[in-house]
Structure 1
Amino acid sequence: MIILNSIVGAVSAQQSDIKGLKKEAILPPIAQVKPHLRNIHHDQTVDDYYWMNDFFKKGPDADLVIDYLKKENDYTDTVLKPTAVLQEQLFQEMKARIKEKDESVPYLKNGYYYYTRTEEGRQYFKFCRKKDQPNAKEEILLDIDAMAVGYAYYSATGFSISPDNSLMSFGVDTVSRREYTIYIKNLLTGEIYKDELHRTSGSSIWAKDNRTLFYTAKNPITLLSEKINRHTLGTNSEDDVTVYNEIDNTNYIGVSKSKNGEYIFIQSEGTLSSEVLYLKSDHPNGDFQVFQPRIKDVLYQVTALEDRFLIVTNDDAINFKVMQCPLENTNKAHWTTFIPHREDVLVSDIDEFKSYLVISERKDGLSHIAIHNLTTKEQYYLDFGEVAYTVYPSTNVEYHTDKLRYGYTSLVTPPSTYEYHLATREKSLLKQQEVAGGYDASAYTTERIFATSKEGIRIPISLVYKNSTKKDGSAPLLLYAYGSYGYAMDPTFNSARLSLLDRGFVYAIAHIRGGEEMGRKWYEEGKMMNKINTFTDFIACGHYLIDQKLTSIGHLYAQGGSAGGLLMGAVANMEPKLWNGIIAQVPFVDVVNTMLDEGIPLTTNEYDEWGNPNDKEAYQYMKSYSPYENIEEKEYPNLLVTTGLHDSQVQYFEPAKWVAKLRKMKTDNHILLLKTDMEYGHGGASGRFDYLKDIALNYAFLFALEHIEK
């Protein structure tokens, strides 16, 4: 039986009568206290668990860290042992919805149709192509199923084909720190060349000569993308030429190619400003030219057409506008307006074709696609018909075509790929993700409602539930959010989520400030010195859902990961009694200490998001909300915290320290669990089934709290 009171009793060191659980008392591991003094801005703070970063720092307590994490894992496994059967049931149930033998919609590029396909019982996939016709003989370019044998984690990415179709570059990460080695394969002979490009982002770009590659190199310590290198086939990678070296350690950099194949771009971008360099792809040994020197607080990105460049920029346009300039004069002085700025529409991106532009926009919290005819200058929008949905341009790699591929999904609509004829305005459904075992979308309802922030601002909430779920306050509800970096958490379908909905849960997404759902201002009002708005928005959404009788106190749950895990830690401190349980995945909860340590991967890239704590005002503001800094002696909700030992985005020691301090300070007998995956990193398992075990664990935790036994 999965009885919450029994689990809580066990956690509080009382005897348990849960079937299958040991009779003796269950005591959580207690982390050693080793005071470490932080002294900055005349503020002295003692950190009892600073030593937990020693595995990452290769310090003297590295073995002690591993021992502690293993003890926490053992404790979690023991407490949740009564849910083991249910976890396996959930895993098999969710796995059964995945069509194991499947194939992606082929896309045409330079005379070949490319696609991936999966086989029954296999965790990964095969990357394939066919020449000229979709029914031609198949070439398996990479068999990831075979390549991944023997690895606990395996990620292959950045598949890039040379212009003559004979060579392929690709990146591989077997550690889960998003640090890839690039390999090159001869597609005619099957040979993997000796050329190996280490410590890269995984992707690379071919010049027109079919022998020159450009790629992004990472710093081995900070993992910052800091160089763009040029590699010539057959040479030692140690001799690669650095064509660009980023001097601003708050920027991310990358390299790409225009769709028409004429230009190679280097993009350097931070939160507040960016810079683009460009080079003709038929002159790979030439010097990159600056498109427009970076300007403080100005972002821009460049799209190449045959006769001009288009520039999406926020220069005097908070929601971005589209400018244009001649190919030979790219400085801002030569920019003229193509699409003016609009206060109620955010321009996100442009997908270019020879005769058309496909413009991704956002209005009223929803994504939109605008079609612009370059010949007639006419522009119109595609219509989708649902109240809450997500739409996006899909794989569109051909420049000389009038066919647009776009993806569409909602909380009740499985991911669907459409082909839209830009000339005739006809569309056809090419593929909709099949939910194995059958799925009836009409059995579920999706809604879009609005909560009100403390300042009276309307906050969108997307939600979904089974039609049979009562809206009288008795239903349990899981509220999810992210709220950082301007990332919009759009409503999408997830077949695994059906296991939650079918057991009576409502699932909701809070589109809070810090994301970009409602435009650029929505993001800026939830970052830096406005970050607390993100947390109060989420709390306001929780109260509103209770007021609307979609749930009630005692049945409201929260979930978020990474920066969304920061959100979880903050709301647990700010209003702990609102939530019956919280799932914090790879949570960024030790904001001040991490942002003070430039040796931690990606720290300096984050200054424009959170602030630089070396500045006293930023330090004090961060300290006022950082979850680790603000733990108090009081009751906290039931908590399940997950992390990965090899996480490169949020290091394992942040959630580990947070849990250790919570154990010491909290005054309740609620469940507090830490689960560390000792083999994976930020994104969890790499296989297409293994990640479901993590979801099963999360759901079993929720179901235990709701007395749901099967």
Structure 2
Amino acid sequence: MPLTEIKKQAVNLMHQATQISDLENAAHPTTQQWLSLAQQHFESSRPKTLEDTLYTELCARQPLADQSTPSRDGDWIYFSRIGENDDYPTYWRYPAAGSADQAQCFLDVRQLAAQHRYLDIGNMETSPDGMKLAISLDTRGDEHYCLQILDLETQRWLDWSIDDMSGDFVWAGDSQTLLITQLDDRMRPDSVWRHQVGQPEAHCIYQETTRHFWLSLGRTLSRQWLLIEASSKTSTEVHLLPAEQPDSPLCCLWPRQTDVEISVNHQGQHFIVLSNHLARSCSLHALPEQALHLEGQQAPTLKDWQTIIAPQDDITLDGFQLHPEHLLIEERSHLTGLCRLKVMDWPKANQQGHIPAPGQSLNYVVKTPDDLCSLDILPSEYPANGQARLVFESLRHPAETWSLSLDSGNHQVLKQQQVHNFDSAALSTRYCSVLSSDGAEVPLLLVARREVLENGHAPLVIYGYGAYGDCLDPWFSSARLSLLDRGWIYAIAQVRGGSEKGDQWYQAGRQQHKPHSFDDLEACIRYVLEEKLTSPAQLALWGGSAGGLLVGATLNRCPELIGTALMEVPFVDCLRAMQDPSLPLTEEEYEEWGNPSDPDILALMQQYDPINNLPQTRLPEVLMTTGLNDPRVPYWQVLKYYVQWWTQNTDPQREPLLYCQDEGHSGASARFEGFRETARLLTFLIHHQPSSTTVSTS
């Protein structure tokens, strides 16, 4: 259909006397008309040649046949492979006492995916005896999972499954008992059930009645204890179950307290907890096993816990991993938002159960090739061997999997992400500290080809999120190179609402302080313009989900400074969503965004809600994406925003674009369709630039 006819239909639809709420019904004729119109408009505006070029680049830039780093779990070594033309991997294993040439494929995900348009594995775990595989599968993208069991000896699927579960489960030590979490009618994991594999009966062992708390399951590294965590956005409660006695009563290790969050593990005869109950920057504590009250719900008191590492004023303890003789601690600077990993000795407890201060004989910071980097701890191999698995990556260094000798601090590179036709020395990075409107210093990380960053006046995209305390630590992206090789600058804005500079950074960007996130992104926009790194016509914003709200609210403030906006599954109808507690996740989200039943929160949301504040002025070029099965940001929120954008837009040359897929919040599950989706997004950014210069990579 010609573009002029599409525009004519859009005008006609806008003048129909149809309630906007009708768009919440996917079967309503108006909804179908708008979705069809959006698809036709997107297809007619799509520069297919450029998209195909980018898709070819994405496929050619990395080895399509690959194998993961082998890791030990009990008596087996596990790894995965993916073939050159495959969308999904195969999983392999061989005995730890054997050799790699004995490896056998125990799961072919290609066969599972052949039966479905979409396939996501929520969790996959072999039983402790290595004889069974439990796997949870979502075949729609709506995050409703089905748990199935594969007999690894016979390679036959058991005629036994659990439908409509959350995807979360854990094996008990007997290799026959599974704990799973079930969903309520608002998709909240609200109950834990104990199942015997193959048996129809199930027993509910925990029910969460507080509606903004949800449940998750885990296991300590020692494998001696199963964990049931009840969490809200700001609080954690932890219950224990002996792994070898899954029929035992639950034992409360840490009761919920307002604004207190913890993470827990177990080593030797002690439980170790990272907690913010003394200070928001967190501290590390130990509890002897004998202090537990195994026969009841009475939890240990705070005086039972020994402080191992006290809180610090300028550093947040971000995470830890405990080994028999070593402690790994992730630290985050409140000044810069940068992270580092420390390794210390872990001393033996004395006869009274007291643990001496760690780090007396060993205390070092793991060295990295780049300061603007991420260094993540992978799950420890079982049994432990004096080594830690880490993943290093930076804005200009592809990911590497390391095996770190905890005693020496030396590391061996087990695997390096291969990127064809790429030279990291051609890229340059820069850390900028941007002053926000209230004087807060916002980290802005830049990466570009060296000559582009030096000269400026280039296309530039700012990526942001700023919610839930999630951190945008530096990461490498091979897809990003398609922008950088065309002369772009890529920027990451670590706005308030994330925890990059500690918990206070998060607190300053949530609930009544949410506008700080928008202040920070606007400050970053003005900074790159004042520094002449780019121009308004060349400036793009990019955000997804809560980051889509960040982009939407900010472009409403200063549309004249922005040329293009890319919004993936954006949370742009936030006021309407937060006023409807029947929607999935709404009540859990009150601690993040605030409850609009509070008049002050209502007034604040009315001021920044993207859909209700589109300005009557020339708007940027925009592409928004959504998924028909998305349970987190329902398609109709984005569709209503799209319709509103058509209504408000005053520039006939800048109609909004909407791409709607059948899947859920995370997009396509098949690898090559994922490449195609990425190519679509990059195509939109590049195509809508007034000029883009391709820089040779040879």
TM-score, shorter chain, exceeding 0.5: yes
Structure 1 position 317, deviation (Å): 0.6
Q: Which residue of 1 aligns with 2:145?
A: 180
Where do 1:331-480 residues align within 5 Å?
331-363=301-333, 364-375=336-347, 377-378=358-359, 379-435=363-419, 437-469=420-452, 471-480=454-463
For residues 129-144 of structure 1, what are the structure 2 equivalents within 5 Å?
129-132=93-96, 133-144=98-109
Q: Report if the CA contact (8 A) 2:14-2:647 is conserved.
A: no
Q: Deviations over 1:277-306 (max 9, x none)?
A: 001111101111111221112112221111
Cross-structure match for 1:668: 651
Structure 1 residue 446 displacement after superposition? 1.5
Q: Is the 8 A contact 1:659 1:672 kept in 2?
A: no
After superposition, the Cα gap between the structure-2 partners of 1:106 and 1:676, relative to the gap in structure 1 and judged at 3 Å, is: same
2:582 aligns to what?
599
- The 8 Å contact of residues 568 and 582 in structure 1, kept in 2 or not, is answered as yes
Find out whether 1:696 has 2:662 as its counterpart: no
Alignment CA distance shift 1:35-1:612 (3 Å): farther
Confirm or deny: 8 A CA contact 1:394 1:417 kept in the other structure: no
Give the root-mean-square deviation of aligned CA atoms. 1.9
CA distance in 2, matches of 1:474, 1:309: 55
Q: Does 1:50 align with 2:31?
A: no
For 2:496 and 2:152, the matched residues in 1 are separated by: 47
Q: What does residue range 134-533 of structure 1 map to in structure 2 within 5 Å?
A: 134-219=99-184, 221-236=185-200, 239-329=201-291, 330-363=300-333, 364-375=336-347, 377-378=358-359, 379-435=363-419, 437-469=420-452, 471-533=454-516
1:641 and 1:678 map into 2 onto residues whose CA distance is 11
What are the residue-to-residue correspondences of 1:561-640 with 2, within 5 Å? 561-640=544-623
Moved more, 395-404 or 252-261: 395-404
Look up the match of 1:4. none
In the alignment, is the contact (CA less than 8 A) between 2:487 and 2:692 conserved in 1?
no
Which one is further off, 165-174 or 396-405? 396-405
Partner of 1:5: none
Deviation at 1:34, TM superposition (A): 7.8
Tell me how far 1:471 sits from its aligned partner. 4.1
Deviation (angstroms), 1:387: 3.0
Contact kept, 8 Å, 1:589 with 1:626, in 2: the verdict is yes
Query: Partner amino acid for 2:302?
Result: K
Correspondence 1:54-133 to 2 at 5 A: 54-55=25-26, 62-80=28-46, 83-132=47-96, 133=98
Contact 2:547 2:570 in 1 (8 A): yes
Structure 1 CA distance, aligned partners of 2:459 and 2:79? 40
SS in 2 for 1:291: strand
Is residue 281–residue 311 contact of structure 2 (8 Å, CA) maintained in 1? yes
The superposition leaves residues 5-28 of structure 1 with CA deviations (integer Å, 9 ceiling, x where unpaired) of xxxxx97x5xxxxxxxxxx78546
2:22 and 2:30 in contact (8 A); partners too: no
Q: Classify 1:25/1:155 alpha carbon distance in 2 versus 1 (closer, same or farther; 3 Å).
A: closer
CA distance in 2, matches of 1:156, 1:139: 21
The alpha-carbon deviation at position 569 of structure 1 amounts to 0.8
Deviation at 1:474, TM superposition (A): 2.1
Gaps of 5+ in 1: 1-9, 14-23, 37-47, 56-60
Aligned AA for 1:386?
A: D
User: Matched residue pairs, number?
Assistant: 668
Structure 1 pair 166–396 and aligned structure 2 pair: CA distance change class (3 A):
same
Q: TM-score, normalised by structure 1?
A: 0.91
Cα separation, 2, equivalents of 1:339 and 1:75? 58
Deviation per residue, 1:172-213 (Å, 9 max, x gap): 111011221111111111121122111222232111111100
Contact 1:292 1:332 in 2 (8 A): no
Kept after mapping to 1: 8 A contact 2:219/2:226: yes
- Deviant stretches of 4+, over 6 Å: 33-36
User: What letter corresponds to residue 377 of structure 1 in structure 2?
Assistant: P
Write out per-residue CA displacement over residues 511-549 of structure 1, whole angstroms, 9 at most, x where no aligned residue: 111001110100000000000000110010111111222
**1:423 partner amino acid:** D
Structure 2 residue runs without a partner (length 5+):
292-299, 348-356
TM-score w.r.t. structure 2 length?
0.93
Kept after mapping to 2: 8 A contact 1:685/1:691: yes
Q: Is the 8 A contact 1:259 1:397 kept in 2?
A: no
1:672 and 1:538 map into 2 onto residues whose CA distance is 24
